[in-house]
Amino acid sequence: MVEPVQKTMTQAEYLTWEQRQTERHEYVIGFVYAMAGGSRRHNRIALNIASFCLTNAPEHCRIYQEGMKLQTDSAFYYPDVMAVCEPEPDKDFFETSPCLLVEVPSPGTKDIDLREKLLTYQSLPSLETYLVVDTDAHFVRHFWRNEKGVWQQQDSTDTGDISLACLGTTLSMTQIYQNVF
Protein backbone atom coordinates (compact mmCIF):
# COMPACT_ATOMS: atom_id res chain seq x y z
CA MET A 1 0.00 0.00 0.00
CA VAL A 2 1.49 3.30 -1.05
CA GLU A 3 -0.90 6.10 -1.93
CA PRO A 4 -4.55 6.28 -0.88
CA VAL A 5 -7.33 7.10 -3.31
CA GLN A 6 -8.03 10.72 -2.37
CA LYS A 7 -11.77 10.55 -1.55
CA THR A 8 -12.75 8.80 1.68
CA MET A 9 -15.49 6.17 1.51
CA THR A 10 -17.84 4.35 3.82
CA GLN A 11 -17.42 0.58 4.07
CA ALA A 12 -20.54 0.08 1.93
CA GLU A 13 -19.25 2.48 -0.75
CA TYR A 14 -15.89 0.70 -0.74
CA LEU A 15 -17.46 -2.75 -1.20
CA THR A 16 -19.56 -1.56 -4.14
CA TRP A 17 -16.64 0.32 -5.70
CA GLU A 18 -14.11 -2.51 -5.15
CA GLN A 19 -16.27 -5.03 -7.05
CA ARG A 20 -15.92 -2.89 -10.19
CA GLN A 21 -12.12 -2.54 -10.00
CA THR A 22 -9.61 -4.58 -11.98
CA GLU A 23 -6.98 -4.28 -9.23
CA ARG A 24 -7.32 -4.93 -5.51
CA HIS A 25 -7.52 -2.18 -2.89
CA GLU A 26 -7.45 -2.30 0.89
CA TYR A 27 -9.69 -0.07 3.00
CA VAL A 28 -8.53 1.46 6.29
CA ILE A 29 -10.75 3.87 8.26
CA GLY A 30 -12.28 5.43 5.15
CA PHE A 31 -9.15 5.52 3.00
CA VAL A 32 -8.55 3.17 0.07
CA TYR A 33 -5.06 1.95 -0.87
CA ALA A 34 -4.09 0.25 -4.14
CA MET A 35 -2.31 -3.08 -3.71
CA ALA A 36 1.00 -3.58 -5.49
CA GLY A 37 1.79 -6.85 -7.22
CA GLY A 38 4.04 -9.33 -5.47
CA SER A 39 7.45 -10.66 -6.45
CA ARG A 40 8.09 -14.25 -7.54
CA ARG A 41 9.41 -15.07 -4.06
CA HIS A 42 6.35 -13.50 -2.48
CA ASN A 43 4.02 -15.57 -4.63
CA ARG A 44 5.93 -18.83 -4.13
CA ILE A 45 5.99 -18.40 -0.35
CA ALA A 46 2.28 -17.57 -0.18
CA LEU A 47 1.44 -20.49 -2.48
CA ASN A 48 3.61 -22.89 -0.43
CA ILE A 49 1.80 -21.91 2.76
CA ALA A 50 -1.68 -21.91 1.20
CA SER A 51 -1.06 -25.30 -0.45
CA PHE A 52 0.13 -26.79 2.83
CA CYS A 53 -2.92 -25.40 4.65
CA LEU A 54 -5.32 -26.62 1.98
CA THR A 55 -3.84 -30.12 2.12
CA ASN A 56 -3.79 -30.30 5.93
CA ALA A 57 -6.83 -28.29 7.04
CA PRO A 58 -9.87 -29.95 8.57
CA GLU A 59 -12.69 -30.35 6.06
CA HIS A 60 -14.84 -27.59 7.61
CA CYS A 61 -12.09 -24.95 7.15
CA ARG A 62 -11.73 -22.61 4.17
CA ILE A 63 -8.27 -21.58 2.89
CA TYR A 64 -7.70 -18.46 0.81
CA GLN A 65 -4.67 -17.04 -0.95
CA GLU A 66 -4.62 -13.28 -1.59
CA GLY A 67 -8.01 -12.87 -3.28
CA MET A 68 -10.42 -12.88 -0.32
CA LYS A 69 -10.98 -9.77 1.78
CA LEU A 70 -10.95 -9.85 5.58
CA GLN A 71 -13.34 -7.43 7.29
CA THR A 72 -12.35 -5.97 10.65
CA ASP A 73 -14.10 -3.21 12.60
CA SER A 74 -12.44 -0.43 10.61
CA ALA A 75 -10.74 -2.06 7.63
CA PHE A 76 -10.84 -4.51 4.75
CA TYR A 77 -7.52 -6.26 4.11
CA TYR A 78 -6.37 -8.89 1.62
CA PRO A 79 -4.15 -11.23 3.68
CA ASP A 80 -1.70 -13.30 1.64
CA VAL A 81 -3.08 -16.48 3.24
CA MET A 82 -6.15 -16.85 5.43
CA ALA A 83 -7.72 -19.88 7.11
CA VAL A 84 -11.27 -19.72 8.43
CA CYS A 85 -12.82 -22.59 10.40
CA GLU A 86 -16.04 -20.83 11.45
CA PRO A 87 -19.39 -21.03 9.62
CA GLU A 88 -19.54 -18.98 6.43
CA PRO A 89 -20.73 -15.36 6.83
CA ASP A 90 -23.77 -14.08 4.95
CA LYS A 91 -21.65 -12.00 2.54
CA ASP A 92 -19.81 -13.62 -0.41
CA PHE A 93 -17.01 -11.06 -0.75
CA PHE A 94 -15.27 -11.14 2.63
CA GLU A 95 -14.57 -13.22 5.71
CA THR A 96 -14.78 -12.03 9.31
CA SER A 97 -13.48 -14.82 11.59
CA PRO A 98 -10.07 -16.17 10.53
CA CYS A 99 -8.07 -18.43 12.80
CA LEU A 100 -4.84 -18.04 10.78
CA LEU A 101 -3.51 -15.03 8.88
CA VAL A 102 -0.26 -14.81 6.93
CA GLU A 103 1.37 -11.74 5.44
CA VAL A 104 4.40 -11.90 3.12
CA PRO A 105 5.45 -8.25 3.13
CA SER A 106 7.40 -6.26 0.61
CA PRO A 107 9.87 -3.66 1.92
CA GLY A 108 7.13 -1.03 1.54
CA THR A 109 4.50 -2.92 3.57
CA LYS A 110 6.60 -4.59 6.28
CA ASP A 111 6.02 -1.83 8.87
CA ILE A 112 2.27 -1.88 8.18
CA ASP A 113 2.15 -5.67 8.64
CA LEU A 114 4.12 -5.50 11.92
CA ARG A 115 2.26 -2.55 13.45
CA GLU A 116 -1.15 -1.61 12.00
CA LYS A 117 -2.18 -5.08 10.86
CA LEU A 118 -0.66 -6.81 13.89
CA LEU A 119 -2.75 -4.69 16.29
CA THR A 120 -5.88 -4.99 14.16
CA TYR A 121 -5.49 -8.74 13.64
CA GLN A 122 -4.82 -9.40 17.34
CA SER A 123 -8.16 -7.75 18.16
CA LEU A 124 -10.01 -10.48 16.23
CA PRO A 125 -11.43 -12.98 18.79
CA SER A 126 -11.17 -15.89 16.32
CA LEU A 127 -7.52 -15.37 15.41
CA GLU A 128 -5.07 -17.87 16.90
CA THR A 129 -1.98 -17.44 14.69
CA TYR A 130 -0.46 -14.60 12.66
CA LEU A 131 2.69 -15.12 10.58
CA VAL A 132 4.83 -12.45 8.93
CA VAL A 133 7.11 -14.23 6.46
CA ASP A 134 10.27 -12.66 5.03
CA THR A 135 11.03 -12.97 1.31
CA ASP A 136 14.78 -12.26 1.53
CA ALA A 137 15.82 -14.74 4.24
CA HIS A 138 14.52 -17.79 6.07
CA PHE A 139 12.78 -15.74 8.74
CA VAL A 140 9.24 -15.92 10.12
CA ARG A 141 7.82 -13.75 12.89
CA HIS A 142 5.22 -15.99 14.56
CA PHE A 143 2.50 -14.51 16.77
CA TRP A 144 0.04 -16.81 18.54
CA ARG A 145 -2.55 -16.68 21.27
CA ASN A 146 -1.73 -19.05 24.15
CA GLU A 147 -4.27 -21.10 26.12
CA LYS A 148 -4.90 -18.10 28.43
CA GLY A 149 -5.60 -15.81 25.45
CA VAL A 150 -2.34 -13.89 25.79
CA TRP A 151 -0.41 -13.11 22.60
CA GLN A 152 3.09 -14.59 22.31
CA GLN A 153 5.84 -14.02 19.73
CA GLN A 154 8.69 -16.13 18.44
CA ASP A 155 11.07 -15.50 15.57
CA SER A 156 12.04 -18.57 13.55
CA THR A 157 15.07 -18.78 11.30
CA ASP A 158 16.43 -21.46 8.98
CA THR A 159 14.77 -24.59 10.40
CA GLY A 160 12.03 -25.58 12.79
CA ASP A 161 8.30 -25.98 12.95
CA ILE A 162 5.52 -23.44 13.47
CA SER A 163 2.31 -24.57 15.14
CA LEU A 164 -0.92 -23.85 13.27
CA ALA A 165 -3.25 -24.66 16.16
CA CYS A 166 -6.59 -24.14 14.44
CA LEU A 167 -5.58 -26.49 11.64
CA GLY A 168 -4.17 -29.05 14.06
CA THR A 169 -0.79 -29.22 12.32
CA THR A 170 2.69 -27.72 12.16
CA LEU A 171 4.32 -25.98 9.21
CA SER A 172 8.07 -26.29 8.73
CA MET A 173 10.43 -23.58 7.55
CA THR A 174 11.44 -26.03 4.79
CA GLN A 175 7.83 -26.18 3.55
CA ILE A 176 7.49 -22.38 3.62
CA TYR A 177 10.64 -21.80 1.56
CA GLN A 178 10.46 -24.81 -0.76
CA ASN A 179 11.76 -23.82 -4.24
CA VAL A 180 12.11 -20.17 -3.20
CA PHE A 181 15.90 -19.68 -2.92
Q: What is the band of 53 on the pLDDT scale with cuts at 50, 70, 90? A: very high
From residue 59, give the alpha-carbon distance in Å to each of 5, 91, 133.
39, 21, 26
Q: Which long-range contacts (CB under 8 A, 24 or more apart) does 51-56 make?
A: 52/171, 52/175, 53/81, 53/83, 53/100, 53/164, 53/167, 53/171, 56/164, 56/167, 56/168, 56/169
Domain boundaries, the chain: 38-176
Residue 124 has pLDDT above 70, yes or no: yes
pLDDT in tens, 26-40: 999 999 999 988 899
pTM (2 d.p.):
0.94
- Decide which of 3.90.1570.10, 3.30.70.270, 3.40.50.11540, 3.40.33.10 is the CATH code for 38-176: 3.90.1570.10
Mean pLDDT of 92-113: 94
